[in-house]
Each structure stands twice: as structure tokens, then as C-alpha cells.
Amino acid sequence: MSGKRRSSNKHEDVELRRGPWTLEEDTLLVHYIAFHGEGRWNLLARCSGLKRTGKSCRLRWLNYLKPDIKRGNLSPEEQLLILELQSKWGNRWSRIAQYLPGRTDNEIKNYWRTQVQKQARQLKIDANSTVFRDAVRCYWTPRLLEQTISPQPAQTPHADTAATAIDHPPRDLVQELFRPSTHCRFESRSSYELSGAEVRNPSTSTAQVSDLPESSWKPVDDLSGIEFSPFHGGSSDDNAHSLGACRLPPLTASADSYAASGCTTTYNNCMNSVGDSSWSMDELYGMLNTWMG
């Protein structure tokens, strides 16, 4: 793949290299930037002795050689952020990458295409559809949250957490979502925690939830057999009921307990700085109401 082609610049008749970068090229680029700094990529390409386009130099530096680039698999927190921000902003990879220090837009884009879109294909759902976004929110996100709060030591590389059982028809997807081991319950309008094994009966969702006794909660396995009916309503803006605590992943976890769980607070900080919540409690209730008919 190391083909060459003529420069399009009529003032220079240089054979431009393409394809994978060699160690020598990398060294040349790193040394040049160490001495002259970033930017002026075309000038860099001309003056550094690299037979590459400025664009190619820029890409190699930003996606691979830059010192603060993180290597390795995306953490559950990072995956959560990507899922959340992609649902909010769409394929604005560079913007999303700004909230994941050390990760490049290219890496995030690749993650989305290889991991997330793969699931959409298997479900035969358009990855940009509301149905799929709901599936991500309701199935994938809780799984990642579980890992975030109680990190699984033996996770396989990348997002295999998501690849486990999502290859089901929607009905199974929902049953899987609500199976007891999900440890998911809606406790009140201001909290949603993962440590329980129950979900409140949504038929009373208009009541003051926090006033309801624990006995009014229903075991999640009572919800088995419900038909999948994607949620289309709800609002994503903050209002009186969509409290800040409903944003992922603060949930009921305080910053201290969150940190004490061994996780960093990167996600919280990022979400707080992002501002507009896209996972309000109203949405969650609306979703359940729709499903439960």
C-alpha cells in the first residue's frame, strides 16, 4: 500500500508517499514538531523532508504520534460518554472527542462503526433510528453503568459487553433489559439506582413516587412478556422533573461514592460540562409507560 503519486503542486515535482508510516517518517515528524511546534502542516510537509502531504502529516500526528494519545480499549465510562453524546449530537466525532481526553475523533468513529453499528445491523435497525437509540439507552447504557459502578475484572476487549446478548428480537431485548440481574429500579423522580432488583409499577408513575411505600414496587421479572414498543415521546430538556441527578451516571451515587467505587469522575465532569441532559427521568417514565401500555 505504500504507493506514490505526483504532487499536485506544480511548483514541486515530488513523489509523495502514501500508506503506512515508517519509523523513520514518524521520527522525522516528531522531531520537527518538537522543534517547530504544531500547525502550518503544508509548510511542515515541505520543510521536514517528509514526502507526505500536510494533511497526511497532520493526521499522523493527531491520531497517532501526539504524546497525550491514549492507547488501549475504551473504558465503560468512555463508551457511555460516546453513546450519550452521539445520541445528543449525532456523528460530530471531533466534538465528541473533546470530551474524551486522549481519544481521537478517528478512534471514536471507528468504535461507533465497529461496535455500535454492528449491533444495529444485527438487530436490523437503522443505527440512527429512534428505536435503536432507545435500545442503546435502555439496554447498553445500564450495562455500562453497572460496569462503571462495579467494574467487571474480566471484561473482554472493547465493547463485548454490548455484544453479549443484544442479538435478539426486540421482545427479548426488553426482557433482557428488565431481568432481575439488571439491578435496575426507578426509585423516585430524583434518583434511579442500579443496586436494586425492582422496578416500580409504571401505572402509578404520575403519583409522587417518593411518597410510595417500598411495597408498591414490582419485581422486574413481573414485566416479562411485555411487547416492545419504542418510546418516542418525552423531552430531553431540563425541566422541573428532570433533575440533574437523572443524568448518567450520577444517578443516586454521590461524587464521593462514585469515586470510592474506583472510577474516575471523568464522566460526571464531562456530563456536567455538557449541560443539557438527554436522559431525564420523565423520559424513563415515559418509556416504561409506553411499553407497559
Chain residues binding DNA by CB under 7 A are 1, 5, 17-21, 39-43, 52, 54-56, 58-60, 63-64, 91-95, 105-107, 109-111, 113-115, 118, 158
| Closest-CA residue to 70 (of 92, 97, 101) | 101
Question: Of the two residues 96 and 149, which places its CB atom closer to DNA in the complex?
Answer: 96
128 vs 261, beta carbon nearer DNA: 128
Q: Which residues contact 279 (CB under 8 A, 6 or more apart)?
A: 84, 137, 141, 236, 246, 247, 248
> Residue 39 or residue 225: which is nearer to DNA going by CB?
39
Nearest to 197 by CA among 214, 174, 173: 214
* Smallest separation, CB 24 to DNA (Å): 12
What SS3 class is residue 171?
Answer: helix
Q: How far is the CB of 135 from DNA (least distance, A)?
A: 18
Of 18 and 241, nearer to DNA (C-beta) is 18
Q: Which of 160, 172 has the CB closer to DNA?
A: 160
Least distance between DNA and beta carbon 276 (Å)? 18
Q: Which residues pair with 181 in a beta bridge?
A: none
Q: How far is the CB of 77 from DNA (least distance, A)?
A: 17
Q: For residue 256, what are the CA distances in angstroms to 111, 120, 145, 250?
A: 30, 36, 16, 11
Phi and psi at residue 198, in whole multiples of 5°?
-135, 160
CA nearest neighbour of 223 among 207, 206, 203, 194: 203
The minimum distance between CB 1 and DNA, in angstroms, equals 4
